[in-house]
Amino acid sequence: MSSLNLDDFTDLIERPDGAVRRDAEARRERRTVPPGALGRLDDLGEWLSAAQSAVPARPIERPRAVLFAGDHGVAALGVSRRPAGGAARLVRAVLKGASPVAILARRQHVPVRVVDMALDCDPRELPEDVVRHRVRRGSGRVDVEDALTLQEAEAAFRAGMAVADEEADAGTDLVVLGDVSVGGTTPAAVLTAALCGTDASVVTGRGGLAIDDLAWMRKCAAVRDALRRARPVLGDQLQLLAAVGGADLAAMTGFLLQCAVRKTPVILDGVVSAACALVAQRIAFRAPDWWLAGHTSGEPAQAKALDRMALQPLLDHGVTVGEGVGALLALPLVQAAAALAAELPGQDEGQEKEGKGEEKREEEDKEKGEQEGE
């Protein structure tokens, strides 16, 4: 029996400030740029204002990429083009600055934090600040066994909450959320199918490296078998994460909910973060108001989850690599929306500036004339 009361999140999570959003909308109507001319950037600016309780929106000055890492036993079935237990190698590439997310983050001056929840490697191979929240070595094969015990699921969930609190206390003003996993898209598909009431074939995709037809059929069968195990525990979200999720997915779910409690906006990456967000929505229905969908990953489970939460992706560039890359690419768009919301003048301000400009030009002309007369 878990000591964690998930119902508390319903009371703890408030929606972004609606009154502030209305003030931001009114301010937009007075701007020199016609309403609608900036498309979704206007909506993003108003969303940020509501999340920050500030008009105009403040600049995003301390973003951070947070990546939860883990290996999944189901990868042993050949449902991924990456070798089972290979997530540690991906983590090392991130830490060395040699992965796509590390390179992009470096260019954007965004710190990257990796949180090992269930990597299948000796923890001594990685830095202490990466492994200190680890729950276990690898998660179970969800088609035939539980990914975690209930106690492990609670520990992972609480670890995600603790990371969210650490980021909020450190002043992080927006999180780019991703995962570093091998086999993670399979439990993500299971969670999405279970919560949306769909069949395995509807949500099973080909993963970040595009598996072939035979691997897809194996993956589809694994999702189907795991779904049979998921349906009896649909009423208990923590038990669901234990049965067919994984330590990294449980941690991401706790992280998302605690970010909403702490009023920290989050950009979701791919199918794994979308599936965790869907579980979090089932726990606290207001939580998705604090999240943005960074991009379309091409995974059918992601599309299904985002549609259920009414989240529209910001970008569609065909990026499937995962690891927070798509969400990180969306960050400049959010930062641009904040800058435009804060710095574009209103019509009165524009006229005032224009008048001051005329006065300045008249003074300059007068001074020039006096100089020529001399």
Question: Structure tokens of 32?
Answer: 């020199």
Measured CA distances, 372 to 175, 187, 331, 358, 366 (Å): 60, 81, 54, 21, 10
Alpha-helical regions (H) of the chain:
8-12, 18-29, 40-52, 87-96, 100-108, 128-131, 150-169, 185-196, 200-203, 213-230, 237-244, 247-261, 271-283, 300-309, 325-343, 347-373
| Interatomic CA distance for residues 293 and 291, integer angstroms | 7
CA atoms within 13 A on the CB side of 330: 32
Q: Helix (H, G, I), strand (E, B), or coil: what is residue 117?
A: strand
Active site residue 352: no
Alpha-helical regions (H) of 33-127:
40-52, 87-96, 100-108
Q: For residue 80, which phi and psi values (nearest 5 degrees)?
A: -135, 150
- Select which of 152, 323, 359, 370 is catalytic: 323
The catalytic site residues sit at: 323
